[in-house]
Amino acid sequence: MMSFPYKKILVIGATSGIGEDLASKFVSEGHKVVVVGRRQEKLDQFVQKHGKDKADSMVFDITKLDKILSFVKDVTSAHPDLDCVFMNSGIQRSFNFAKPDTVDLSTISDEFTTNYLSYLHLTNAFLPYLQQSKQETALIYTTSGLALTPMLRCGNYCASKAALHHYILVLREQMKQESPNVKVVEIFPPAVHTELHNEKNQPDIKGPRDFGMPLDEFTSKTWKGLREGKEQIAVGTSEMSFNSWEQERQKGFHKMIEMMAKSQD
């Protein structure tokens, strides 16, 4: 089994759920972390729990796109040994596009900015720092099984994750050509029991909210994939789409790369 070689991981979206639990897992496995989120009190609790020798924190809202460059400059100056950036922030909202009078376009924009545009801005800002390292570095992204198979109730969320998934596919191949020291990893969670689905965030959900894979089970399976050095880690129900037709689509993607390369010879 391969090891997870990164010594200090920046975890963006670490105040709850997947981000918080994986950040805790990193610490328990001997890695240092810098946790990022909007809620100062949650970040303080994380650092207090794990100790300042193992964890640090920074408050930041990734939807403030015009502040991302200064944020990246601050974090890399404070932590020049940072070698892995894990982008995990995300929101999910429900829309019925067949009823246009119910669709809040400002919420649509917020969701797409959080789940897609902010990741592009963050990647663009972090890449020069990661590329200059003589050691292996990594960009890790949380997308979703819904990037592969959409769901009726949250179409914009699915679209934002699908956009991110396609971006990651392209970025990974470009990095292999331009900067092979930067590894690009994508995690495809299933529905996981987190506050993503709580009443405040998704009031339209009726009935019990304890659905989805238990968080500790998801973290364990994801950590196994990270330890094995996988570039794509599908967990739970996401495996159904990933292991079937998604493999055929990616074959088509790589075939297109080959065809374009031959046309330029």
Residue spans of the domains in the chain: they are 8-263
Of the candidates 43, 80, 83, 81, which has an alpha carbon nearest to the alpha carbon of residue 59?
43
CATH 3.40.50.720 at 8-263, yes or no: yes
Cα angle: 225, vertex 228, 234; to 5 degrees: 25
% of the chain residues with pLDDT over 70: 92
**What would the pLDDT profile of 68-90 be if each residue is shown by its tens digit?**
999 999 999 999 999 999 999 99
Residue in the structure block whose two tokens are 């975890």: 11
Cα angle: 191, vertex 161, 140; to 5 degrees: 85
For 230, residues 6+ apart whose C-beta sits below 8 A from its C-beta are 185
Residue 200 has pLDDT above 60, yes or no: no
Residue 207 has pLDDT above 60, yes or no: no
Residue 210 has pLDDT above 80, yes or no: no
CA neighbours closer than 13 Å in the CB half-sphere of residue 179: 19
**What would the pLDDT profile of 146-177 be if each residue is shown by its tens digit?**
999 999 999 999 999 999 999 999 999 999 99
* Dist CA 35 CA 44 (whole Å): 10
Predicted TM-score (pTM) of this structure = 0.93
Whether residue 57 contacts residue 79, with contact meaning beta carbons closer than 8 Å, is answered with no
Structure token digits, residue 141? 């992204």
Report the pLDDT value the prediction gives residue 199, as an integer from 0 to 100: 54
Residue 92 has pLDDT above 70, yes or no: yes
% of the chain residues with pLDDT over 90: 89
Whether residue 57 contacts residue 36, with contact meaning beta carbons closer than 8 Å, is answered with yes
The pLDDT-based confidence of 263 (bands split at 50, 70, 90) is confident
Average pLDDT value for the chain = 93
Paired with 140 in beta bridges are 86, 185
Report the pLDDT value the prediction gives residue 193, as an integer from 0 to 100: 82
Of the candidates 16, 94, 90, 10, which has an alpha carbon nearest to the alpha carbon of residue 55?
10
